[in-house]
Structure 1
Amino acid sequence: MECLKVRELNIFRPATKSMPFDTSPTINFIASLFAPLRLSSHFDLDVASGIAIFIGGNSAVSALALRPLYGQLWHGWYNTPGCHAIVWELVRTLFQTSFSSEYSERLAVSIGISGRKGPKYIASRSGTVMPQTCYLADMLVHSNWRGKECDPAVVGVRGSPSPTKVTIVDFKKSIPTGNDTLRPRSSRNSSILIIPTATSIVACAFCASMEDWLAFTMILLGMVCSGIASFILSTGKITLGEQLKPARGVPPGDGMLLSDTHIVILRGNEEDVNAVTKGKLRLKLKGGDCTLLLCAFLVSLQVALQLVFMPFASLAGQLMFLLSLLMSGACNLYLSAKEDDIRSNALFTLLNTPEVKTYEARSRASAAVLACLALCWESRTPAKEILQELVPIKPRPWAACSACLAQNIQEQNGEFMYSPELKEMLDEGENNFLTDLIDDVHAAYDRYIKDHPDNTRMRR
Structure 2
Amino acid sequence: MAQNYPLEINTGNFSLNISGVVGFFGGNEAIGAIQTIHHHKARKFLGWYNSPGSWAVGEKFGKLAKSRFWGGLFPGPDEEPTKFFELDGKQGPKYVASRSGSILEHTGHLAYLIMQKSKGELGLEVNEGRITKRNKITIIKTQRVFDPLPRKEDKKPPDREIPPRSRIPMFVAVLPIAVSFTTCALCGCTYDWFCFSMILLGIVSSGIFSVVMGSARLKLQGVNSAPTAPPGDGMLMDGDNIVLLLGEEKDVATITRGSFILEYDPWQGDDRESEGSLRPGKEPIIDEYNAVGWCSLLLVIQLLAQLLLIPQGTSFGQIMFLISFAASWAYNVYLSSINNKDIQEQLILEELHLEEKHMRTYIFLTRTSAAVFACLMLQPDLGFKPEDIIRNFIPNDTQVWDTWREKVLEVMKTRNGSKDTCDGLLKMNLEEETKSGEKTRFRQDERNLLKLLLDDARIAYHLAMKEKGWLEEN
CA contact (8 A) 1:78 1:197 kept: no
Q: How does 1:258-277 map to 2 (within 5 A)?
A: 258-277=237-256
Letter of the 2:343 counterpart:
I
1:133 aligns to what SS in structure 2?
A: coil
Q: Which residue of 2 aligns with 1:437?
A: 453
Where does residue 84 of structure 2 map in the other structure? 110
| Alpha-carbon contact 2:175-2:327 (below 8 Å) kept | no
Q: Cα offset for 1:443?
A: 3.6
Give the paired residue count: 399
CA pair 144-455 structure 1, distance change in 2 beyond 3 A:
closer
Q: TM-score, normalised by structure 2?
A: 0.70
Aligned-partner residue type, residue 117 of structure 1:
Q
Q: CA–CA distance in 1 between the matches of 2:329 and 2:132?
A: 39
2:230 to 227, 245, 251: 251
Question: 1:206: Cα distance to partner?
Answer: 5.1
CA positional deviation for 1:197: 4.8
Aligned to 2:24: 54
Matched, 1:449 2:465: yes
Q: In 2 relative to 1, CA 72–420 (structure 1 residues): closer, same or farther, beyond 3 Å? A: same
Could you tell me which amino acid in structure 2 is paired with residue 201 of structure 1?
Answer: A
1:198 to 175, 183, 189: 175
Answer whether contact 1:163 1:363 (CA < 8 A) is retained.
yes
8 A Cα contact 2:140 2:360, kept in partner: yes
Match runs of 1:161-180 below 5 Å: 163-175=134-146, 180=159
Q: Which whole-Å CA distance do the structure 2 matches of 1:439 and 1:215 have between them?
A: 77
Q: CA deviation at 1:386?
A: 0.2
In the alignment, which residue of structure 2 is the partner of 1:309? 306
* Aligned counterparts of 2:132 and 2:197: Cα–Cα separation in 1: 55
Cα distance between partner residues in 2 of 1:372 and 1:299: 53
* Cross-structure match for 2:291: 294
Cα distance in structure 2, aligned partners of 1:218 and 1:155:
63
- What does 1:12-411 correspond to in 2, within 5 Å? 46-47=17-18, 49-73=19-43, 74=45, 76-95=47-66, 106-143=80-117, 151-157=122-128, 163-175=134-146, 180-183=159-162, 185-187=164-166, 191=168, 195=172, 197-202=174-179, 204-205=181-182, 208-209=185-186, 211=190, 214-215=194-195, 218-219=198-199, 221-241=201-221, 243-246=223-226, 248-286=227-265, 287-289=267-269, 292-309=289-306, 311-312=310-311, 313=313, 314=315, 315-335=318-338, 338-353=339-354, 355-379=358-382, 381-411=384-414
SS of 1:452's equivalent in the other structure is helix
Tell me which amino acid in the other structure corresponds to 1:205. T
Q: Cα distance 1:455–1:204, how it changes in 2: closer, same or farther (>3 A)? A: closer
Displacement of 1:375 after TM fit? 1.2
Is the Cα contact below 8 Å between 1:366 and 1:440 reproduced in 2? yes
Q: Which residue does the alignment assign to 2:282?
A: none
Q: Which shifted more, 300-309 or 384-393?
A: 300-309
Q: Deviations over 1:147-204 (max 9, x none)?
A: xxx74222345797974332222223143685751416543xx547854652453354
Tell me how far apart the structure 2 counterparts of residues 140 and 66 of structure 1 sit (CA, whole Å): 19
Q: Find the aligned partners of 1:207 and 1:288 in 2 and give their Cα distance.
A: 30
Shift of residue 213, structure 1, vs aligned partner: 6.2
Shift of 1:222: 3.6
Shift of 1:431: 4.1
Deviations 1:370-428 (A, max 9, x none): 32122115456132210101222234444433333322232115756244335664434
**Bigger shift: 199-208 or 265-274?**
199-208
Q: What one-letter code is carried by the residue in structure 2 that aligns with 1:347?
A: I
Indicate how the Cα distance of structure 1 residues 140 and 77 shifts in structure 2: closer, same or farther if over 3 A, else same.
farther
Task: Kindly state the Cα deviation for residue 345 of structure 1 after the two structures are TM-superposed.
Answer: 0.8
* 1:226 alignment partner AA: S
Find the aligned partners of 1:443 and 1:222 in 2 and give their Cα distance. Answer: 65
Distance apart, 1:224 and its partner CA? 4.2
CA distance in 1, matches of 2:67, 2:354: 35
CA separation of 1:69 and 1:319: change in aligned 2, threshold 3 A: closer
Per-residue CA distance 1:126-157 (angstroms, 9 max, x = gap): 121222222222222234677xxx74222345
SS at match of 2:347: helix
Gaps of 5+ in 1: 1-43, 98-103
Which structure is higher in helix share?
1
C-alpha displacement of 1:254: 1.7
Deviations 1:313-351 (A, max 9, x none): 53522431442253134224423xx22111111112332
Q: Structure 2 CA distance, aligned partners of 1:243 and 1:204?
A: 48
Identical-pair percentage = 26
Output the aligned Cα RMSD. 3.8
Q: Distance in 2 between matches of 1:163 and 1:57?
A: 42
Q: Indicate the residue corresponding to 1:420 in structure 2.
A: 427
- The 1:254/1:267 distance shift into structure 2, 3 A limit, reads same
Whole-Å Cα distance in 1 between the matches of residues 47 and 429 of structure 2?
65
Extract unaligned runs of 5+ from structure 2: 1-14, 69-77, 148-155, 271-287, 432-440
Rounded to whole Å, the distance in 1 between the matches of 2:250 and 2:329 is 47
Structure 1 residue 108: Cα displacement: 1.8
CA distance in structure 1 between the partners assigned to 2:429 and 2:20 by the alignment:
75
Distance 1:159 1:53 in 2: 60
Structure 1 residues 288 and 199: alpha-carbon distance in aligned structure 2, compared to 1, 3 A threshold: closer
- Answer with 173-182 or 232-241: which moved more: 173-182
Aligned mates of 1:207, 1:87 — CA distance in 2:
23
